Amino acid sequence: MKSFVKKIVLVMSVVILTLPIFTSTVQAESGTEPEINATAGMIFDEHTGQIIYQKNADEKVAIGSITKIITLYLVTKAIKEGKFTEKDTIRPTEAQASMTQKSELTNVRLDADKDYTVKDLYNAAWIVSSNSAAMMLAGKVSGSQEKFVRLMRKTLKSWGIKGAEIYNVSGLNNSDLEPDMYLGSQDGENKLSANDIGVVVKHVLDEYPEILQTTSQAKLTFPDGNETKTYNSLNLLLKGNRDYQDGNEFDGLKTGTTEQAGESFVGTLPLDGTRIVTIVLNAQGEKTDLDKRFRSTQHLVSYLKENYERKEILKKNQKIKINKKEYKTYEPIYSWLPKNFNIEELRYNVSSDDLGFAAVHNTQTVKLIVTNTGNGYLPFKKKAEVKKVIHKKIDQKSWWDQIVEFFNHLF
């Protein structure tokens, strides 16, 4: 018995001593944190889904007009599927037009007796976050805003996003809207987490990267009566705008502002051969400080540049062993790693979702992922699988038939 106890103690000692080897993760130097004064935030690689930094990534918060990323994704999808064209026109309702007379709710002016092209409305919703334009486009897709909200919810659910709170197409608080413009309670407001938004953005940019041709425009020209009026993009990080920094070539994506949501921003820019996405939710600071969300965004990018490098971690046709199985890569693989990090310390496994890089094992292609990247990866699935339950009809035998069958099997 004593011998057995000694063996157990020895095994436990070995496990404790070697635990750091198996649990080591890729981290930047201790003490380095980006200066983002916000409720939640994130920076990740859009192509791979690798998260470099995150703060309160699972906390559901009000998102304001970041909602329009989902709305305009579905509008883009409808256009691509041929349901209507950019040249089609839409006339605003009296309620939609009257909203554009309220300075706190809109910017571009819409008149109830005029028609506007889908393209002009689409640009206005992206570039200057026109609420009425987003509503008109949603109605064009689904027939009503309520039906469109149900489509938004269904889309998020299909992407594996749980617990999303989506009540309207614009991101305003329901109290600012007419009853036929929303679902839910009168004071409801759309809420998502940084993780949820990351999944949304990856779907949007994976499927329709051409959206960036619109979001990168620093100016919007929009019809105003018999003339056209020029508006500045709300994204102040675009080239030519106030907060632009040389070397940080942002080309999107969307601001969000309400009393409950505060000032938020989802940004994106090409960097080192890939695409980076930044998320800042409810930037803190003085109300008169109109640059705080963009400054926090710049801090996220600076943190990445100062502490990480995008390195080739595997070469083409390189072999990897995982649980005694051998896999071979199809192409060079890259990952963001802290500077001076030893690539040999990376660990790999078969991916549990749709992220990862392709490798082959015995003619079978699988997705592999780095398991010790520190902040991990987005919870990304291309489309949630819905398994159909097939109910087979079973012929129920009578009690007499069962007795006869029992005795028949005895002989």
| Catalytic machinery residues | 65, 68, 129
254 appears as a binding residue in the annotation = yes
Residue 129: which of 105, 146, 147 has the closest Cα?
Answer: 105
Residue 280: which of 268, 259, 294 has the closest Cα?
Answer: 294
Q: How far apart are CA 124 and CA 100, in angstroms?
A: 12
Q: How far apart are CA 349 and CA 393, in angstroms?
A: 42
359 beta partners: 329, 366
> In terms of C-beta density within 10 A (0-12 exposed, 13-18 middle, 19 or more buried), how is residue 81 classed?
exposed
100 beta partners: none
Residues in the chain: 411
Q: Which two tokens mark 223?
A: 């019809």
Q: Which residue has the tokens 């921003």?
A: 265
Annotated binding site: 254
Annotated binding site for substrate: 254
